[in-house]
Structure 1
Amino acid sequence: MTKNQFPALGHDYRADYGEHVYRISFSADGKTLRWAKDAETDFDAAAATEAYQAIPIRPGVFMVSWKEADGTTVAQVEDFENGTVHAAITLPDQTFLNLTGPWTRMS
């Protein structure tokens, strides 16, 4: 894998932060992602679609960020080599969350 190859394209991942668990599906074209809480029984009906940016940090590690319709901002460091994800999330009420957990490819 070269530094600029984003390995998530066309795949689904699970971000498990313990209390917060999400499924994230990346489009093959690299323009959008879809996400929902992992417990949702119908991902297609529950998922929100967001435009995102993926910036390479080093081979296998990317900073991925997006802004949701309600004003929530998300920045994740996705480490595909070690299977971990670190997130910094600002909620609309300005609550700030720092989360870390396993990053698992689902498909």
Structure 2
Amino acid sequence: MSEIDYLKPETSEAGRFPAIGHTYEVDYGGDYLVQFEFRSVRSMTIFGMKGKYKGFTEKVEISVTPIRTGVFMVAWQEKNQTTVIPLRILKKA
């Protein structure tokens, strides 16, 4: 099954990207805490929660790649051209 077919809403529950409509908190350590709010399989909003990025907000286009059932790689490029692939989402906010 292709990536596009795998992520279509009409596919089985196992093939859906479960983050859509949810917000996740990511702690990069130190004073760097953000939340990711997944709007769709193609976009999310990043919110800076503490430290020098507190109050930062950016909507980004995302690329979601299924790795196996229930496991997805999410990547995006920020306005400053930084490409990001988070290593671990710690908990649902």
Instruction: Establish whether TM, by shorter chain, passes 0.5.
Output: yes
Look up the equivalent residue of 1:63 and give its one-letter code. M
Give the number of equivalent residue pairs: 77
Aligned equivalent of 2:35, options 23, 45, 67: 23
Runs ≥4 residues deviating over 2 A:
none
Query: What are the ranges of 5 or more consecutive residues in structure 1 without an aligned counterpart?
Result: 78-84, 86-101
Contact 2:19 2:38 (8 Å CA) reproduced: yes
Name the residue aligned to 1:7.
18
Q: Larger strand proportion, structure 1 or 2?
A: 1
Contact 1:65 1:76 (8 Å CA) reproduced: yes
Once the two structures are aligned, what percentage of the paired residues are identical? Answer: 30
Normalization by structure 2: what TM-score? 0.71
Contact 1:14 1:38 (8 Å CA) reproduced: no
Query: What are the ranges of 5 or more consecutive residues in structure 2 without an aligned counterpart?
Result: 1-12
- Cα distance between partner residues in 1 of 2:43 and 2:26: 17
Normalization by structure 1: what TM-score? 0.63
Look up the equivalent residue of 2:67 and give its one-letter code. I
Name the residue aligned to 1:48.
58
In the TM superposition, residue 6 of structure 1 has moved relative to its aligned partner by 1.1
In the TM superposition, residue 36 of structure 1 has moved relative to its aligned partner by 2.3
- Cα distance between partner residues in 1 of 2:71 and 2:83: 20
Deviating more after overlay: 63-72 vs 31-40: 31-40
Q: CA RMSD of the aligned region, Å?
A: 1.7
In the TM superposition, residue 22 of structure 1 has moved relative to its aligned partner by 1.1
Name the residue aligned to 1:74.
84
CA deviation profile, 1:78-98 (whole Å, cap 9, x unmatched): xxxxxxx1xxxxxxxxxxxxx
